[in-house]
Amino acid sequence: MMLAGGIHRLTLRNFKARFALGRDLGLEFAPKKGFIACDVPDQPTARDAMQAVIEIVTAHLGSNQSQIVKRAQEAGIGKHQVEDCLKDGPFSRERGNRNEWLYTVAVAQIPNLPTPIEAGNREIEPSC
């Protein structure tokens, strides 16, 4: 029996190593030889979780945590990462129905401060 579209390359990505530095393993299928070792293709850079959560909340203002987690998981961000971002990030939350919290991005207001007066070691001239 022949399967359509067989496996030609297999990449095993290390996600946890206990005793030594982990490394990824690449295997490529060669007919009549089986799988042989090959170079592992570069993994695309991971998105910053906080930036992704900010983008999701900005695009969907007033979403609750479950909705934000669902959208973030579709973008490849874990549930606990999202929860940490919502707890520590620049978000304001309002009480929704029952026990839900609705999230929005808090706009950082920087107050206009007057120009500081120079202070230093100035010699004061005696007044006559």
Global confidence as pTM: 0.50
In the chain, count H helices and then E strands.
3, 6
Question: In this structure, are residues 56 and 64 in contact, taking their beta carbons and an 8 Å threshold?
Answer: no
Domains of the chain, start order: 7-15+22-42 (no CATH), 49-105 (1.10.10.10)
Report pLDDT for 109: 39
**For every one of its 128 residues, what pLDDT tens digit does the chain have, with 9 covering 90 and above?**
344 566 678 787 877 777 777 788 888 888 888 888 888 766 655 567 888 898 999 999 899 999 999 999 998 888 999 999 898 888 888 998 888 999 998 875 334 545 555 555 555 555 55
Which of 49, 74, 60, 75 has its CA nearest to residue 105?
60
